[in-house]
Chains A and B, each alone.
With several copies, the nearest count.
Chain A
Amino acid sequence: MSILVNKDTKLVVQGITGRDGKFHASKMKEYGTNIVAGVSPGKEGETLDGIPVFNSVAHAVKATGANTSIIFVPAAFAADAILEASDAGIALVIAISEGVPIQDMIRITPILKLNGTLLIGPNCPGLITPGEALVGILPAMIFKEGNIGFISRSGTLTYEVVNLLTQNDFGQTTCVGIGGDPVAGLYFIDLLEMFENDPETKAVVLIGEIGGDAEEQAAQYIAEKMTKPVVAFIAGQTAPPGKRMGHAGAIISSGSGTAEEKIAAFNKAGVPVAKEPGEIPELLRRRLAEQSK
């Protein structure tokens, strides 16, 4: 088992003829992801790495039954591409595009809800269910099948931590990079719930960062609803207020969204917070041992 993507995923790649789209479509296909279609307006009929290209998501869905989409189009067109996928009946959309205007996301969020579409991102590295499907730009070789669920707001920090997990023999059910933008699709709580309900997942690692209060909400959710152990890490403890640390979401405004508050919330919820990434495997080992007592 796993969450969101697996062997049944039929992926369409929006923006498949662009530089990033082309590159990562190949990588995903190489990993074994079932890519059924690409979309690039005006290129219907062509194929790319054996993948048929369509003018629109609607055409792609009609011809191939695609149920999941990954988006590589430039930020200015990303919201439109997400709506196109959603309106075409795609159930899960992963938006890799970085730099999408916040109000575009606010505008499309209720429409996605109406259509019943789940969104991951934008500005995210995507997700992977090791051994089944890679839908994103994550480096496949660091992941390993196992029973740890993984959720993170960042990219390379995800790789750093997953690498440590894999080296310490903690394989993963599914690893999800939810992206660093302030207004994004699925968030910690949504994914914690999915992991809680996934029989294969035994524990969850959550990588938060400064800005917003998603971590605080996650902590509350964990305290109230979760039976599985969770271990956390928060990046940005030294970041100064009011500055945007690369991620649009990683900004501390007026005394809220600080690492201290987030760490306190997790501690209150009984979630151990690692001081540095290297500590995570050990914390995980301990929590799992406690759980099995």
Chain B
Amino acid sequence: MKIHEYQARQIFRDYGIPVPDGVLCYTVYEVEKAAREMDRMVVVKAQVLAGGRGKAGGVKLARTVEDAVAAGKQILGMDIKGLTVEKVLVTDAVDIEKEFYVGLINDRNTKSITLMVSAEGGVEIEEVAKNNPEKIIKYSINPLTGLLDYQARNVAMELFGNIKLAQKAASIFIKLYKLYIETDATLAEINPLVLTPENEILAIDGKMNFDDNALFRQPKILAMREPDAEELQEIAANEKGLAYIKLDGNIGCMVNGAGLAMATMDMIKLYGGSPANFLDIGGSSNPQKVIDAMNILLSDKNVKAVMINIFGGITRCDDVAKGLIKALEIIMTDIPIVVRLSGTNAEEGLALLKETGLPTVSSMSEAAQKAIELSKR
């Protein structure tokens, strides 16, 4: 789960990380009021769950209230990577001496949390990682001790080379680690962390992602969720026990198991088609789940054909077939469907389906080819 910059900044603030003042605004009027009250140079920043807001024109410096109003007018309602900007953050424009990057991330290889810092702040860290990997300092944190004072200080010394600044920065690293642990984050970035001419260190922009599997114990984080339309669909699917992700193609897929679902999408592509979605119905043969899955699938108007790919394991194919038959009785659609059943009791399942007149096949590749053919009619 992702949150907005303004929400990340609030979490930072709750943990004592210094963040410049800011006001969240939904209207140009609110922007004007905020800029007037702040009575100094401000930055107006689009709050959308997408990277590259600056490049897209979603971040503007405003020297006067009039500038701020103009920026608000421009940014509110604009489209950034397909997302409409519904709110902006009006925040103090801080004098910047130097920009740094600080991030925490789960590292699969070391099976630990890694602290990453760089003197190349303010740009996307992925760019730095690609072009100047030597400019990123990575420190793997021992889960048994957490980020220790001396470690944070030593890393900060590498970055600042000055003990007073290093101690300020180290304190921020430790607070960031604490909030990372306590919120079950999977990513926490301060970018940029800035040094001001007055030798203050401030978090100017923040990005946080959280572990969906841990949201059950993170009510405060869950309350921050602001899903867009696409995510709402995914969440709704999740609540029905389905994993659904919309894609751009025209062949709808319904598969049991995530790996097989990905392999199914790949197969469609391999044979020249284009998958309309990822959809994993999991291990159940419950007809209701099949109905829900079909409804979600078919709500995508691009879908021209459906490929159902089931490998029966513990789940028996004849049970799945019965579920499918019931589901299709209820749903009634003109979209052509091809069903592939394999594994436990596949023959019985295929026999049941034959009676319904649905095209059935017994291999994935056949199913993919058939679905592509049907989608072109």
Interface string of B145-166 (1 = CB under 8 A from A): 1001111011001000011101
Complexed CA–CA distance, A56 and B153 (Å):
9
Q: For the complex, what is the distance from the CA of A224 to the CA of B265, rounded to whole Å?
A: 33
**Bound: A80/B343 CA distance, A:** 35
Please measure, in the bound complex, the distance between the C-alpha atom of A82 and the C-alpha atom of B295, giving whole angstroms: 39
Q: Are A102 and B257 in contact (CB under 8 A)?
A: no
Contact of A103 among B148, B151, B181, B216 (CB under 8 A): B181
Tell me the complex Cα distance, A152–B153, Å: 35
Q: How far is it, in angstroms, between the C-alpha of A158 and the C-alpha of B257 when the chains are bound? A: 10
Give A278 to B270 CA distance when docked, in angstroms.
12
Query: Is the C-beta of A199 less than 8 angstroms from some C-beta in chain B?
Result: no
- Given A83-B148, A99-B213, verify A246-B113 contact (CB < 8 Å): no
**Is B298 part of the binding interface, using a Cβ–Cβ cutoff of 8 Å?**
no
Considering the complex, give the chain A residue whose CB is closest to the CB of B142: A110
B237 to chain A, nearest CB (A): 11
For residue B280, give the distance in angstroms from its CB to the closest CB of chain A: 4
- Given A27, A104, A239, which contacts B314 in the complex, CB threshold below 8 Å? A27
Contact between B150 and A56 (Cβ–Cβ < 8 Å)?
yes
Among B166, B260, B270, the one with the most A-chain Cβ atoms within 10 Å of its Cβ is B260
Asked if A214 and B108 make an inter-chain contact with CB atoms under 8 angstroms apart, the answer reads: yes
A156 with B150: CB separation less than 8 A: no
- Cα-based distance from A100 to B217 in the complex (angstroms): 12
Among A75, A240, A276, point to the contact of B365 (Cβ < 8 A): A276
- Interface check B93, CB cutoff 8 A: no
Is B233 in contact with chain A by the CB < 8 A criterion? no
Shortest C-beta distance, B356 to chain A (Å), equals 23
Q: Give the complex CA separation of A244 and B166 in angstroms.
A: 37
A210 to B265, CA, bound (A): 13
User: Within the complex, which residue of B108, B157, B268, B344 is in contact with A139, where a contact is CB–CB below 8 Å?
Assistant: B344
Among B299-357, those with CB < 8 Å from A are 311-314, 342-344
Q: By the criterion CB–CB under 8 Å, are A160 and B260 in contact?
A: yes
Check if B270 sits within 8 Å of A276, measured CB to CB: yes
Whole-angstrom distance between the alpha carbons of A189 and B259 in the complex?
20
Which one of B130, B260, B363 contacts A278 once the chains associate, using CB atoms below 8 Å? Answer: B363
| B256 CB within 8 Å of chain A | yes
Q: How far is the CA of A99 from the CA of B184 in the complex (A)?
A: 13
B247 at the interface (CB under 8 A from A): yes
* CA A247 to CA B108, docked complex, whole Å: 14
- Quick check: is A217 within 8 A (CB to CB) of the other chain? yes
A138 near B259 with CB under 8 A, answer: no
Tell me if A154 and B257 are in contact (CB < 8 A): yes
Q: Specify which chain B residues have a CB less than 8 angstroms from the CB of A243 in the assembled complex.
A: 245, 278
Asked if A153 is an interface residue, CB under 8 A from chain B, the answer is yes
Binary contact track A238-279/B, C-beta < 8 Å → 1, others 0? 111001111111100011000100000000000000011110
> B150 near A238 (CB under 8 angstroms)?
no
A102 engages B144 (CB within 8 Å)? no
When C-beta atoms are compared, the residue in chain B nearest to A57 turns out to be B150
The reply to whether B259 and A152 form a contact with Cβ atoms under 8 Å apart is: yes
Residues on A with beta carbons closer than 8 Å to the beta carbon of B154 = 41, 55-56, 58
Contact check, A276 vs B364: say whether CB atoms are below 8 A apart.
Answer: yes
Q: Which residue, of B162, B256, B257, has the highest number of chain A Cβ atoms within 10 A?
A: B257
Which B residues are CB-close (under 8 A) to A106?
106, 111-113, 143
Most buried by A among B113, B211, B262, B343: B262
Q: Does B267 contact A (CB under 8 A)?
A: yes
Q: Is A200 an interface residue (CB 8 A)?
A: no
Residues 188-224 of chain B: 1 if any A CB is under 8 Å from the residue's CB, otherwise 0?
Answer: 0000000000000000000000011110110000000
**Proximity bits, B39-73, A CB within 8 Å = 1, else 0:** 00000000000000000000000000000000000
Q: How far is the CA of A103 from the CA of B210 in the complex (A)?
A: 11
Q: Please name all residues of chain B whose beta carbon is closer than 8 Å to the beta carbon of A131 when the two chains form the complex.
A: none
Q: Is the beta-carbon distance between B213 and A101 smaller than 8 angstroms? A: yes
The smallest C-beta distance from B236 to any residue of chain A, in angstroms, reads 16
Nearest-neighbour CB distance to chain B for A102, whole angstroms, equals: 5
How near does chain B come to A157, taking the closest CB pair, in angstroms?
A: 3
Q: Which residues of A contact B144 (CB under 8 A)?
A: 110-111, 114
How far apart sit A104 and B211, CA to CA, in the bound complex (Å)? 11
CB distance from A236 to the nearest CB of B (A): 4
Judged by a CB distance under 8 angstroms, whether B83 is at the interface is no
CA distance A238 to B253 in the complex (A): 13
A145 CB within 8 Å of chain B: no
Which residues on A sit within 8 Å (CB–CB) of B255? 156
Does B131 have its Cβ within 8 Å of any Cβ on chain A?
Answer: no
- Quick check: A102 and B211 within 8 Å, CB to CB? yes
A159 near B267: Cβ-Cβ < 8 Å: no
Task: Identify which of B144, B217, B268, B313 gathers the most chain A CB atoms within 10 Å of its CB.
Answer: B313
CA gap between A250 and B108 in the complex, in Å:
12
Cβ of A127: which chain B residues have Cβ within 8 Å of it? none
Is B126 part of the contact surface with A, judged by Cβ < 8 Å? yes
Chain B's closest residue to A88 (CB) is B150
**B186 interface hit (Cβ, 8 Å):** yes
| Distance in angstroms between the alpha carbons of A152 and B108 in the assembled complex | 17
B258-286 with Cβ < 8 A to chain A: 258-263, 265-270, 275, 278, 280
17 residue pairs bridging A and B, Cβ less than 8 Å apart: A42-B163, A55-B163, A75-B213, A101-B214, A142-B313, A154-B257, A154-B258, A156-B260, A160-B364, A182-B106, A209-B262, A237-B269, A239-B262, A239-B265, A246-B259, A246-B262, A278-B363
Q: List the interface of chain B (C-beta within 8 A of A).
A: 106, 108-109, 111-113, 126, 129-130, 142-145, 148-151, 153-154, 157, 162-164, 166-167, 181, 184, 186, 211-214, 216-217, 243, 245, 247, 255-263, 265-270, 275, 278, 280, 311-314, 342-344, 363-365
